[in-house]
Amino acid sequence: MKLNLVSFIFICLLLATAIGNSSLSETITEEKNPKAVNTVLLTLTFEGQQKTYTLDDLENLDSYSGRGGRLNVIGNIQGPFTYTGVRISKLAQEFSKIPSNYELLTVSRDGYVYKFTNSQIKGNIPVYDVNGNPVGTGGVTMLLAYEEEGVSYFYGGPLRMAWVSNDDLITDSPYWPKYVDELEILKPTSDNFPPEIYIDSPNKGLYLNDRKLITTPFSIIFGGITINAQALDGESGIKKVMFFIDGELKAKIATPPYQWFWDEKTLGRHTISVNTFDAAGNIASDEEDVWIFNP
């Protein structure tokens, strides 16, 4: 019986290798002229209060323009380009009683989460000249950009963070989250401890129609599967759990149970990953490689 099972698994892996990684799910694409559809592009929150904005709403706020570029980890520079958008300091005024030392959490629809300190929001980040040479710190304005070079559909749009000035200053690319669709204004906190998260299921087993039959060295799945994550935080509390397949965001869950049913047509090897962040903006993640056969 043991030999038959091993042979069965081996045949499945050979089939998956031959077919390849062929998920039919969509990937994030560039926004095609968000002005054409009056859809909500941004959710802004502060202490349970929530406001939503279309592109028209954002354009009706005080606009700000400047030039900026980003330096990636291998030393390549994109820009400088001219960006137009809303200053973060202006957006913060949309709520009353915002503390002067507020922080900012950005959440993107590709799952990227980044927390900016108050000092960073004020522009105190490293800056470079157009050749990538360090020239100091500061002198830039933090912007939620909705236009690049005068167009509202651009790489990383329709909304992305940008750092602009009148001097063509360059800043590091991690400060430029793209595909931004959520912003949360945070009060400073002493909670610097990341939450805990792990994938409870699937986890090292043979699964058939969402049921675990036996434990195996790695996960093999036939049919759809419920991805279940356990997320814990003893300080400020879990805000959201995000589910990804091969880096593509599939679901955001704000309350337990943190689970999502994956039932897409796909054959081959994939990576399931989950990210979470707490109310203080601390981040944690886990991932599991699986072989799935769901034709």
Is the domain of 70 the same as that of 200?
Answer: no
| Residue that finishes a domain, picked among 160, 186, 212 | 186
Same domain, 53 and 122: yes
How far CA 90 is from CA of 46, 85, 104, in Å, comes to 14, 10, 13
**DSSP state string for the chain:** -HHHHHHHHHHHHHHHHHH-----S--------GGGS--EEEEEEETTEEEEEEHHHHHTSPPEEEEEEEE-TTS-EEEEEEEEEEEHHHHHTTSSS--TT-EEEEEETTS-EEEE-HHHHTT-SEEE-TTS-EEEE---EEEEEEEETTBSS-TT-SSEEEEEBSS--EEEGGG---SEEEEEEE---S-----EEEEEES-SEEEETTEEEEE-SSEEEES-EEEEEEEE-SSS-EEEEEEEETTEEEEEE-SSSEEEEE---EEEEEEEEEEEEETT--EEEEEEEEEEEE-
Q: Considering 157, 186, 215, which residue would you say is the last residue of a domain?
A: 186
Q: Is the peptide bond before 80 cis (omega within 30 degrees of 0)?
A: yes
Domain extent at residue 272: 2-26+190-294
pLDDT at position 12 is 55
How many domains does the chain fold into?
Answer: 2
Residue 22 sits in the same domain as residue 80: no
The separation between the first and the last C-alpha atoms of the chain, rounded to the nearest angstrom, is 27
Distances (CA, A) of 13 to 18, 37, 211, 218: 9, 45, 20, 11
* 126 and 245 share one domain: no
The verdict on 100 and 203 lying in the same domain is no
Global pTM reads: 0.78
Position 38 scores a pLDDT of: 76
For CA atoms 137, 138, 140, 141, the dihedral sign is positive
Are both 161 and 52 inside the same structural domain? Answer: yes
Same domain, 9 and 99: no
Domain CATH for 235: 2.60.40.10
Q: Same domain, yes or no, for 144 and 288?
A: no
Residues 138 and 217 in one domain: no
Write phi, then psi, for 57 (nearest 5 degrees). -60, -45
pLDDT of residue 8: 53
- CATH number of domain containing 161: 3.90.420.10
112 and 240 assigned to the same domain: no
Per-residue confidence (pLDDT) for residue 3, from 0 to 100: 42
**Residue at which a domain ends, from 129, 162, 186:** 186
Q: Which residues of the chain have pLDDT under 70?
A: 1-37
Q: Within this chain, do residues 166 and 195 fall inside the same structural domain, yes or no?
A: no
Same domain, yes or no, for 275 and 138? no
Q: How far is CA 101 from CA 142, 171, 283, in A?
A: 15, 22, 21
